[in-house]
Structure 1
Amino acid sequence: MALPTAPVAAGSLVGGYLVARETGVRPLGGAVLGVAGAWCTREWSRRAGAPVATALLATYLAGFGASHPLAKRIGAWPSVLTVAAVSGAASWALADRRG
């Protein structure tokens, strides 16, 4: 059975933040996001087609972008966990549950 994309998408948003925070090297956190995002996009495309993969990648990237202003309102960790949950749920709903 193929690895589900939902935990990778959600986990990489959390992991990317954690790597950037703990190392102080933001591009290193971005590398985590880039590698995981590329893998997820390939899998989304394979499992659900290019239009769904494009929508999920947009959700993933929008979550990353939205986490910054959201963090100013609710805090860093709640923000990261919120966007990770949204990205993971979308990945499961649109790609993973199809089998």
Structure 2
Amino acid sequence: MNDTMAVIGNDYSYGDVTIAERAIEDLIACSAIEFGLREVKVVSLSKERYDYQIIAPVSLVEAERLYRYVRDQFDLLLGQVDVTLNVIGV
């Protein structure tokens, strides 16, 4: 049994945008898991732009490292994507 959990919030059904939105949410979740987290929650904060909140059990220092790691993954895989990321440590 896999003990890693990723919770993806807000499913959208707007044609092709659904795929792009879901792909970005998946990239965030997968990047957080690759970073070493066992639990992560990704929440979309806007339907008009790519604005996400990452909620994870991390310290302030780890939250900053997680942000940089996810941002680097975006740059590597998607180029300069106009996405807003907020990391909340719990």
TM bucket (normalised to shorter chain) is 0.3 to 0.5
Structure with bigger strand share is 2
More helix by share: 1
Q: TM-score, normalization: structure 2? A: 0.38
By relative contact order (CA 8 Å, sep 6+), the higher-ranking structure is 1
